[in-house]
Amino acid sequence: MQQKGMVMTTLLPRSMRTVVTKMGRWLGTACLVGMEVTLAMPATSLAADAPRRPNIVVILADDLGFADMGSFGGEIKTPNLDSLAKDGVRFTNFYTHATCSPTRSMLLTGVDTHLNGLGNMDEWTAPNQVGVPGYEGYINKRVATLPQLLQGAGYHTYMVGKWHLGKQPDQIPRARGFSRDFTLLDGAGSYWDMTNLTAATPKSVFTEDGRYLTKLPDDYYATKTYTDKLIGFIDDNKADGKPFFAYVAHQAPHDPYHLPKDWRNRHVGEYDKGWDALRQERLKRQIEMGITPAGTQLSERMWFLPDPIVLAPAARAVTGKKMELYAGLVENMDHHIGRLIDHLKKIGEYENTIFVVFGDNGPEGTDLFKMLTGTPGTRDYLFAATAWSQTHPNAWGDPGSYAAYGPMWAQVSATPFSQYKAWLGEGGIRNALIVSGPAVKRPAGSINRGLMHVADLMPTFLELAGTTYPKTLAGQELPPLIGKSWTQVLAGQAESPRTDQDYLAWEIFGNRALRQGDWKIRWQYKSLGKSDWELFNVATDPAERKDLAAQRPDKVKELLALWDGYVKANNVILPSRSMFETLEDQLPPRVPDEAGYPPVSYKRQFVPPKDMMADPKP
Partner 1 sequence: MKPLIRARWAAAAVLALAALCPPQVLAQVPARFYWKTLSGASAVPVIFNSLSGNTNPFDPSNLVTPDANFDATMAMAGWAQTYTLGDRSAMAAIILPMGRVSGGVAGFTETSRGFGDPMLEFNYNLIGPKAQKTIPDVLRYEPGFSLDLLVDLMLPIGEYDNKQSVNLGQNRWYGRIGTPVVWQLGSWVPGRRTTLELLPAVWLFGDNNDFVGQKLKTDPMFQLDAHLTRDFAERIWGALDLTYYKGGGSTINGVAAGKLNNVGVGLTLGYTVNENLNLTFGYKSTVNDSAPTDMRMDGFMVTLVFGWHPIIEGMRRLKSE
User: Does 390 help bind partner 1 (rule: CB under 8 A)?
Assistant: yes
Amino acid at 466: G
* Segment lying near partner 1 (by CB under 8 A), choices 5-13, 342-350, 390-398, 485-493: 390-398
* Of positions 29, 378, 386, 394, contacts partner 1 by CB under 8 A: 394
User: Does 268 help bind partner 1 (rule: CB under 8 A)?
Assistant: yes
User: Does 260 help bind partner 1 (rule: CB under 8 A)?
Assistant: no
* Of positions 321, 421, 484, 522, contacts partner 1 by CB under 8 A: 321
Q: Determine which one of 31, 97, 100, 156 is catalytic.
A: 100
* HEC string for 313-372: HHHHHHHHHHHHHHHHHHHHHHHHHHHHHHHHHHCCCHHHEEEEEEECCCCCCCCHHHHH
* Segment lying near partner 1 (by CB under 8 A), choices 245-253, 392-400, 500-508, 539-547: 392-400
If the CB atoms of residues 2 and 586 are measured against partner 1, the closer one turns out to be: 586
If the CB atoms of residues 314 and 595 are measured against partner 1, the closer one turns out to be: 314
Which DSSP string do the residues of 33-49 spell out, in sequence order? Answer: HHHHHHHTS-GGGGSSP
If the CB atoms of residues 370 and 557 are measured against partner 1, the closer one turns out to be: 370
User: Does 395 help bind partner 1 (rule: CB under 8 A)?
Assistant: yes
If the CB atoms of residues 408 and 473 are measured against partner 1, the closer one turns out to be: 408
If the CB atoms of residues 152 and 320 are measured against partner 1, the closer one turns out to be: 320
* Of positions 269, 290, 293, 553, contacts partner 1 by CB under 8 A: 269
* Segment lying near partner 1 (by CB under 8 A), choices 100-108, 206-214, 313-321, 555-563: 313-321
Quote the distance between the C-alpha of residue 88 and its chain's center: 20
User: Does 374 help bind partner 1 (rule: CB under 8 A)?
Assistant: no
If the CB atoms of residues 62 and 272 are measured against partner 1, the closer one turns out to be: 272
Q: Is 114 a catalytic residue?
A: no
Q: Which residues pair with 453 in a beta bridge?
A: 95
Contacts with 37 (C-beta within 8 Å, 6 or more apart), sequence order: 144, 148, 149, 152, 470, 473, 474
Q: Determine which one of 114, 156, 164, 254 is catalytic.
A: 164
Contacts with 178 (C-beta within 8 Å, 6 or more apart), sequence order: 147, 157, 158, 159, 247
* Segment lying near partner 1 (by CB under 8 A), choices 144-152, 264-272, 455-463, 512-520: 264-272
Segment (H or E) for 610 = none
What's the min distance (Å) between Cβ of 271 and partner 1?
Answer: 11
User: Does 393 help bind partner 1 (rule: CB under 8 A)?
Assistant: yes
If the CB atoms of residues 297 and 394 are measured against partner 1, the closer one turns out to be: 394
Question: Do 347 and 234 contact (CB within 8 A), yes or no?
Answer: yes
* Segment lying near partner 1 (by CB under 8 A), choices 167-175, 177-185, 318-326, 519-527: 318-326
Question: Do 188 and 260 contact (CB within 8 A), yes or no?
Answer: no
> d(Cα 523, Cα 535) in Å, to the nearest integer?
9
User: Does 193 help bind partner 1 (rule: CB under 8 A)?
Assistant: no
* Segment lying near partner 1 (by CB under 8 A), choices 144-152, 309-317, 456-464, 595-603: 309-317
Angle in degrees, CA 483, 484, 488, rounded to 5: 155
The SS3 call for residue 72 is helix
Q: Is the dihedral of CA 434, 436, 441, 444 positive or negative?
A: positive
The SS3 call for residue 58 is strand
> d(Cα 141, Cα 153) in Å, to the nearest integer?
20
What's the min distance (Å) between Cβ of 315 and partner 1?
Answer: 4
Cis check for the bond before 527: say yes or no (omega within 30 of 0). yes
If the CB atoms of residues 390 and 571 are measured against partner 1, the closer one turns out to be: 390
User: Does 266 help bind partner 1 (rule: CB under 8 A)?
Assistant: no
What's the min distance (Å) between Cβ of 399 and partner 1?
Answer: 11
* Segment lying near partner 1 (by CB under 8 A), choices 305-313, 435-443, 499-507, 531-539: 305-313
* Of positions 277, 315, 562, 587, contacts partner 1 by CB under 8 A: 315
What's the min distance (Å) between Cβ of 389 and partner 1?
Answer: 10
Question: Do 169 and 159 contact (CB within 8 A), yes or no?
Answer: no
Q: Is 258 a catalytic residue?
A: no
What's the min distance (Å) between Cβ of 319 and partner 1?
Answer: 5
Contacts with 112 (C-beta within 8 Å, 6 or more apart), sequence order: 106, 455, 479, 482, 570
Number of residues that bind partner 1 (CB under 8 A): 22
Q: Which residues pair with 203 in a beta bridge?
A: 195
If the CB atoms of residues 385 and 444 are measured against partner 1, the closer one turns out to be: 385
> d(Cα 213, Cα 445) in Å, to the nearest integer?
41
Question: Do 562 and 503 contact (CB within 8 A), yes or no?
Answer: yes
DSSP single-letter state for residue 456: G
* Of positions 174, 316, 421, 442, contacts partner 1 by CB under 8 A: 316
Q: Which residues are catalytic?
A: 100, 164
* Contacting positions for partner 1 (CB under 8 A): 261, 268-269, 272, 306, 311-319, 321, 390-395, 398
